[in-house]
């Protein structure tokens, strides 16, 4: 069996998916010159972690924990909670490193996915009181990414940016804010002054439009 992601039979839908993400990877490497570790290096470290290499784990942590800590802080809005979540996340990274090879997607997005899923599970389980919603938007407005980093990543997100641009601005803002800040439907309903009973329908319509656009560009 060939073990490179790109050499599977083209009829295998997984292989097609993987191949398209490896193209994304190449674009991202080209776009992220400012980043300390390129995508391939992170992927290499994760593979070594899968073999139980503690040094690789420490190096992976050094280079990727600021990003994942940023994810925890943004979604959890609490430093202590974010520190605890980060511990749990890297324990999962250690435990799940073996499944990385099977996962479609890039190494960095694999890590961010583990972090986001854990942070979102925590806040959903926590059932944040609704009065916090105002605070959350205030903090969100402050934490605008630095323009240089945003530029460096621009190519990678060009296609989705274009498709997001075709959505009504409130819908694209809802999609992006939900992803980045981990907002729930309840929070989105309040934030966008849409009744909870219709927010899901409204967002889904946006998501399906987004899908249609992404597919037509694929």
Partner 1 sequence: MADESELRPGEMDDALAAEYVLGVLPHDERALIEKRIGSDAAFAARVATWQAHFSAFDPDYAEVSPPAAVFDRIERRLFGAPAPARTAFSLWGSLAFWRGLAAASLAASLFIFFRPDGAIFQSQAPVLVAELAATTGHMGLVASYDPADGEMRIVPIAAASDNPKSLEVWLIAEDGRPQSIGLVDTADKGLIRISDPMRQRIHQGVSFAVSLEPQGGSPTGQPTGPVLASGTLRSL
- Which parts of 153-212 interact with partner 1 (CB under 8 A)? 153, 156-157, 159-161, 175-176, 178-180, 182-185, 188, 197, 200-201, 203-205, 207-208, 210-211
CB of 107 to partner 1, least distance (A): 11
d(C-alpha 172, C-alpha 165), whole Å? 7
| Per-residue x/- track, 42-81, partner 1 (CB under 8 A) | ---------xx-x---x--x---xxx-xxx-xx-------
| Per-residue x/- track, 79-98, partner 1 (CB under 8 A) | ---xx--xx--xx--xxx-x
Residue 7 tokens read as 């050499």
| Per-residue x/- track, 109-148, partner 1 (CB under 8 A) | x--xx--xx--xx--xx-x---------------x-xx--
Q: How far apart are the first and last CA of the chain?
A: 28
d(C-alpha 65, C-alpha 68), whole Å? 5
Cα angle 172, 175, 179 (rounded to 5 degrees) comes to 140
Work out the angle between the directed axes of helices 169-181 and 196-217 (0-180°, nearest 10): 90
CB of 72 to partner 1, least distance (A): 8
Q: Write the DSSP symbol of residue 24.
A: H
CB of 1 to partner 1, least distance (A): 19
């Amino acid at each position: 069996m060939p073990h490179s992601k790109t050499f599977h039979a083209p009829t295998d839908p997984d292989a097609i998916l993987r191949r398209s993400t490896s193209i994304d990877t190449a674009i991202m490497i080209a776009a992220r010159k400012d980043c300390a570790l390129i995508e391939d290096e992170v992927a290499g470290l994760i593979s070594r972690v899968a073999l139980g290499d503690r040094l690789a784990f420490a190096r992976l942590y050094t280079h990727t924990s600021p990003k994942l800590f940023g994810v925890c802080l943004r979604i959890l809005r609490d430093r202590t909670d974010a520190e605890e979540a980060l511990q749990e996340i890297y324990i999962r990274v250690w435990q799940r490193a073996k499944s990385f090879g099977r996962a479609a997607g890039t190494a960095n997005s694999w890590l961010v996915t583990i972090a986001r899923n854990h942070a979102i599970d925590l806040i959903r389980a926590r059932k944040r009181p609704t009065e916090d919603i105002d605070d959350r938007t205030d903090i969100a407005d402050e934490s605008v990414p630095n323009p240089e980093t945003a530029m460096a990543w621009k190519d990678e997100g060009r296609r989705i940016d274009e498709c997001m641009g075709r959505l009504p601005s409130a819908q694209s803002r809802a999609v992006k804010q939900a992803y980045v800040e981990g907002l729930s439907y309840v929070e989105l309903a309040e934030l966008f002054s849409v009744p909870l009973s219709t927010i899901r329908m409204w967002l889904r319509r946006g998501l399906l439009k987004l899908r249609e656009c992404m597919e037509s560009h694929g």
